[in-house]
Structures are given as structure tokens and as C-alpha cells.
């Protein structure tokens, strides 16, 4: 299983209507609360302003990679 840490980029794997997030929304982990919960910030790509900052469970997100493994 992938380790998720602060500053990792993640995507939501399910719609979360109450937080206005759709499956595939991309955010940045800003804090690890415990082994199963992460605070994630979602920002507008044009302005950089956060439109959501929510605590998500490990099973609601997937870590994204921008390069192949070393």
C-alpha cells in the first residue's frame, strides 16, 4: 500500500457531494491526522484559492505520481 504524507498530491476516488468534490478532484495533503485520516486542500488552478479543505479517509483518496519509480 502506498504511504501518503503531507505535501503528496492525491485524487478523490468517489463523489463527495457535501464538500462539492467529484471523483477525480485533485488536492494536496496538508496534514495526516492518524493512520486513516488526512486533511486535504483543493485549490482552483487559475487563482490558487482553496475551494475545499476537508478530512478524508485513506479509502477515499489515491496518491498520484508524476514520474516512474526510481
Architecture of domain 9-63: Roll (2.30)
Task: Report how far residue 29's alpha carbon sits from residue 4's, in angstroms, rounded to the nearest whole number.
Answer: 8
Mean local confidence (pLDDT), 44-69? 93
Q: What angle do CA 62, 8, 63 make, to 5 degrees?
A: 15
- Residues 25 and 9: beta-carbon distance below 8 Å: no
In tens, the pLDDT along 4-52 reads: 999 999 999 999 999 999 999 999 999 999 999 999 999 998 998 999 9
Predicted local distance difference test score (pLDDT) of residue 40:
98
Query: Where along the chain do its domains lie?
Result: 9-63
Ranges of H-type helices in the chain: none
Predicted local distance difference test score (pLDDT) of residue 70:
83
Predicted local distance difference test score (pLDDT) of residue 1:
54
Amino acid at each position: 500500500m502506498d504511504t501518503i504524507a503531507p505535501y503528496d498530491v492525491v485524487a478523490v476516488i468517489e463523489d463527495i457531494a457535501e464538500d462539492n468534490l467529484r471523483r477525480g478532484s485533485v488536492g494536496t495533503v496538508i496534514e495526516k491526522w492518524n493512520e486513516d485520516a488526512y486533511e486535504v486542500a483543493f485549490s482552483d488552478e487559475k487563482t490558487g484559492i482553496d475551494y475545499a479543505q476537508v478530512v478524508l479517509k485513506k479509502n477515499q483518496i489515491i496518491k498520484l505520481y508524476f514520474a516512474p519509480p526510481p
